[in-house]
Amino acid sequence: MTRNTTRRRSVGAVSAAAALALVLTACGANDKDDSATGSPAAAQQGGTLHILTSAPSINWDPATSQNLAITTLGLVERRLTAWQTNSDGSTEVVPDLATDTGTASDDGKTWTYTLKDGVAFEDGTPITSQDVKYSVERSFAPELTGGLSYHKSLLTGGDDYAGPYDGKTLDSIETPDDKTIVFHLDSAYGDWPWIVSMPAFGAVPEDKDDVSTYTTTPVATGPYKVADTQEGTSVTLERNDAWDQSTDEARTAGPDSVVFELGQDESVVAQRLIADAGDDQNAFGATFVPAAQLAQVQNDANAKERLVTSGPGALAYLAINTEAEGLDDVKVREALQYAVDKQAFQVASGGAIAGDLATMLITPGIPGREEYDLYPAEPSGDPDKAKDLLADAGWKDRPLRLVVPDDAPTRAKAEAIEQGLKRAGLTVKIVTQPAEVWTQTVTQGDGSKYDLTLSSWQPDFPSANGNIQPLFASSQIGDGGYNLSRYSNADVDALIEQATQETDTDAAAALWAQADRAIGLDAPVVPLIYTKNSFLHGSKVQNFEIPDFPAYPNYLKVSLAP
Q: Is residue 431 part of a domain?
A: yes
CATH number at residue 406: 3.10.105.10
Strand order in the sheet with 224-230: 224-230, 234-239, 257-261, 48-52, 283-285
- Yes or no: say if 467 and 315 are a contact pair by the CB < 8 Å rule: yes
**How wide is the angle at C-alpha 140 spanned by C-alphas 138 and 146, nearest 5°?**
100
State the pLDDT confidence band at 450, using cuts at 50, 70 and 90: very high
The range of the structural domain enclosing residue 416 comes to 315-531
**How many CB atoms neighbour CB 436 within 10 A?**
11
- Yes or no: say if 93 and 193 are a contact pair by the CB < 8 Å rule: yes
Query: How far is the C-alpha of 453 from the C-alpha of 432, rounded, in Å?
Result: 10
Query: How far is the C-alpha of 10 from the C-alpha of 2, rounded, in Å?
Result: 6
Q: Is residue 272 part of a domain?
A: no
Q: What are 105's strand-pairing partners?
A: 110
Q: Is residue 91 part of a domain?
A: no
Q: Is residue 1 part of a domain?
A: no
Query: How far is the C-alpha of 251 from the C-alpha of 453, rounded, in Å?
Result: 39
Strand order in the sheet with 525-531: 355-357, 525-531, 315-320, 452-457, 400-405, 428-433
Q: Is residue 406 part of a domain?
A: yes
Backbone angles phi, psi at 334, to 5 degrees: -65, -40
- Give the tens place of pLDDT for each residue, 359-413: 999 998 787 789 999 999 999 999 999 999 999 999 999 999 999 999 888 999 9
As a whole-number percent, the residues of the chain with pLDDT over 90 amount to 79
Q: Is residue 159 part of a domain?
A: no
State the pLDDT confidence band at 17, using cuts at 50, 70 and 90: very low
pLDDT tops 50 at residue 518: yes
Q: Is residue 102 part of a domain?
A: no
Q: Which of 337, 525, 358, 359 is nearest to 420 (CA)?
A: 337
Q: How many independent structural domains does the chain possess?
A: 1
Average pLDDT over residues 13-33: 30
SS3 (DSSP) at 214: coil
Q: What is the DSSP code string of 217-229?
A: SPPP-SSEEEEEE
Helix axes 464-472, 505-522, angle to 10 degrees: 40
Q: What is the DSSP code string of 317-382?
A: EEEE-TTSTTTTSHHHHHHHHHH--HHHHHHHTTSGGGEEE--SSSPTTSTT-----SS---TT--
- Give the tens place of pLDDT for each residue, 27-44: 323 333 333 333 443 589
Sign of CA dihedral 248, 250, 253, 258: negative
Q: Is residue 299 part of a domain?
A: no
Q: What is the DSSP code string of 130-164?
A: HHHHHHHHHTT-TTS-SS--HHHHHBTTGGG---S
pTM comes to 0.82
- Yes or no: say if 463 and 195 are a contact pair by the CB < 8 Å rule: no
Distance of CA 28 to the CA centre of its chain: 23
Query: How far is the C-alpha of 322 from the C-alpha of 331, rounded, in Å?
Result: 11
- Yes or no: say if 335 and 390 are a contact pair by the CB < 8 Å rule: yes
- Give the tens place of pLDDT for each residue, 266-315: 999 999 999 999 999 999 999 989 888 988 998 899 999 999 999 888 99
